[in-house]
Structure 1
């Protein structure tokens, strides 16, 4: 018997967290139903814990290879045995080996994945759980492979696109430190005793602070960064920050496309794999990665459970592109919601890639302007006293 940590909801969408012993996920669902609770997510509790979280690229490779082997007639147990023997990463090998052993013991694949702690995402576990009863595990795994492959490529594009802005930030910081610690101090003796303009006084004051109190300034900056990071982990602060991001000019509209793409892709994969509408919504909302949007889904789930169309319920969510509810409505009216969700996902995948490129493109001129303004301020602060000195000399002459 295993011990499960679970998150569940009652009929009023109130969340409950707990720990209970059960032989399988199905038994856990039955136990919770007897208390009028509905399982949202669960994982097997292990005192040792598995703290390795499998990367998107690794998930895509696992799903693709196992899915291909199953569709070729190889049994699931044999497929996992092959994956274990081929894996060169010790951490992954340990996880795959444990999954293989649990399959031999009679565990279903979804329960074997749950037993690995946080290694596998809930979306993957629930999709596989649904496919176990429909006999479409190979297709589900290949669909998951495509999804994680797309997610991995998008993340790689973001990292690649952010390389230039990061270089600009490093150059900006480097230039500022060079100017304030090595160049400006050389002019201090030249202007000593002069009535300097305000901007020059400010620049010299900053230079003096960096030279004499640089280590304290660095400590304060690190404390501020740590403090902000801590505050963003507080639910209320994170919710307000994520809400604020949606209201930023230009950036907010681009983020909406990215969030819509994530939700549509996850919802498409879950619903077309046989996961119920309510469970699909509860799982898909967690993939958006925006606390404000996620907080609105309690009302969405409640409305859908009461018989409201998904398109109507989704239209009340602030943070998604307006095209989403309209496309879902067409799918509901045509009776092909799963096909329409797939088309929406493909469409928004392309739009999200364009949105990411635009978002990064916006950062580049901003950084160049900031660097230019800093250099301009330093140049002006030096030129004004020199010009004043030249004027005094000319007047005496």
Structure 2
């Protein structure tokens, strides 16, 4: 009988890890749910680790936009009065080319067998995060599944809008960098080699900057078939290292310490923290479990680590605002609003208010950063091009002196 290693959250917000010996993964999920645990991760303990275990192929095939459309469409069908199984069937027929079409069909089969939708989503943990499954479970328990799915879609839409805005703003600087690098490669591999025979015939060395650039061009031209696999190996190693908890924690701490970029990342994480926690509390999830799910939904490990002690404080009956004050990354205004929410019994509403205020601050910081980025990149690219041109002209002047 196989053994499955799990990581789950209890109703009190504690993270539990252990092994479950059952017939299959579905039985393991059912066993954990009967114990009142919310599953975060489940994998067979005896499985041989794959070379690409750090890469989640399911997650790569489905982006946030598709998830947002799926949740929004399903919410609209449920709000229109369709039963859940018929709504899932309609979502599966809507776009058969989408990977979520097959997922919708499998969810429908599980629902028709009597499983709750949240439990059916556990089999597709790479697509649906623990926070999203908790929202669905809260919606099914409270009878407002359509509203919970709409909340899920709104959060995904917000994330998509932020990413698309950043991508649009980075197109021009990225194009500048690519063109500058291509120009540098062209000069190093095509232009400067034309001068090298003249210096060899004269028995004189080329100027040092030209020698360096020429050597780089020779390396690219003669050993490109080795450099490309080496580059691919470096990228693969970087992705694997990012999956390692300790290395990821060090990387995220370094990112938060960067000037300008670090404070912006902290503000974005603070906004996500307040919004996720407010959404879960608004749907009736208990504060200890909601807090743990919120930390699981954050992207920066260092930011999450600074708030790990808050879970124990909540379980002991302490106030959330006092625990948040120990983090160096949360704005004082957000902490004050959380304290007001706890005192007035409107914690979810105050968290949403704090998330909106932090979102405005994040947008201002992002606009300032992007406004600075274009001129900085332009100056750097101009300096690079000027240095390359100066190198070429130095070589030409040296040739002229040899001729005279």
- What is the TM-score normalised by the length of structure 2? 0.82
Tell me how far apart the structure 2 counterparts of residues 230 and 224 of structure 1 sit (CA, whole Å). Answer: 10
Q: Which runs of 5+ in 1 are unaligned?
A: none
In the alignment, is the contact (CA less than 8 A) between 1:231 and 1:237 conserved in 2?
Answer: yes
Stretch deviating more after TM superposition (380-389 or 277-286): 380-389
Give 1:280 shift. 1.4
Stretch deviating more after TM superposition (330-339 or 57-66): 57-66
Q: Which runs of 5+ in 2 are unaligned?
A: 48-55
Show the counterpart of 2:180: 172
Tell me how far apart the structure 2 counterparts of residues 14 and 169 of structure 1 sit (CA, whole Å). Answer: 45
Show the counterpart of 2:8: 8
Sort the Cα spacing of 1:322 and 1:240 in 2 relative to 1 into closer, same or farther, 3 A. Answer: farther
Show the counterpart of 1:256: 266
Sort the Cα spacing of 1:211 and 1:149 in 2 relative to 1 into closer, same or farther, 3 A. Answer: closer
Show the counterpart of 1:52: 58
Stretch deviating more after TM superposition (192-201 or 327-336): 192-201
1:149-201 CA distance string (max 9 Å, x none):
21222222233223223322321221111111112222334444346543344
Sort the Cα spacing of 1:194 and 1:364 in 2 relative to 1 into closer, same or farther, 3 A. Answer: same
Give 1:202 shift. 3.0
Stretch deviating more after TM superposition (319-328 or 106-115): 319-328
How many residue pairs were aligned?
385
1:313-337 CA distance string (max 9 Å, x none):
1222243344332221222233211
Sort the Cα spacing of 1:20 and 1:292 in 2 relative to 1 into closer, same or farther, 3 A. Answer: farther
Tell me how far apart the structure 2 counterparts of residues 12 and 76 of structure 1 sit (CA, whole Å). Answer: 29
Show the counterpart of 2:53: none
Show the counterpart of 1:28: 32
2:156 to 148, 155, 159: 148
Tell me how far apart the structure 2 counterparts of residues 392 and 367 of structure 1 sit (CA, whole Å). Answer: 38
Show the counterpart of 2:142: 134
Show the counterpart of 1:105: 113
In the alignment, is the contact (CA less than 8 A) between 1:67 and 1:139 conserved in 2?
Answer: yes
1:327 to 330, 334, 337: 337
Give 1:248 shift. 0.7
**Alignment partner of 2:115: what SS?**
coil
Sort the Cα spacing of 1:296 and 1:187 in 2 relative to 1 into closer, same or farther, 3 A. Answer: same
CA RMSD of aligned residues (A): 3.3
Give 1:211 shift. 3.7
Sort the Cα spacing of 1:186 and 1:97 in 2 relative to 1 into closer, same or farther, 3 A. Answer: same
Tell me how far apart the structure 2 counterparts of residues 218 and 78 of structure 1 sit (CA, whole Å). Answer: 50
Tell me how far apart the structure 1 counterparts of residues 228 and 65 of structure 2 sit (CA, whole Å). Answer: 37
Tell me how far apart the structure 2 counterparts of residues 27 and 212 of structure 1 sit (CA, whole Å). Answer: 60
1:188 to 196, 206, 212: 196
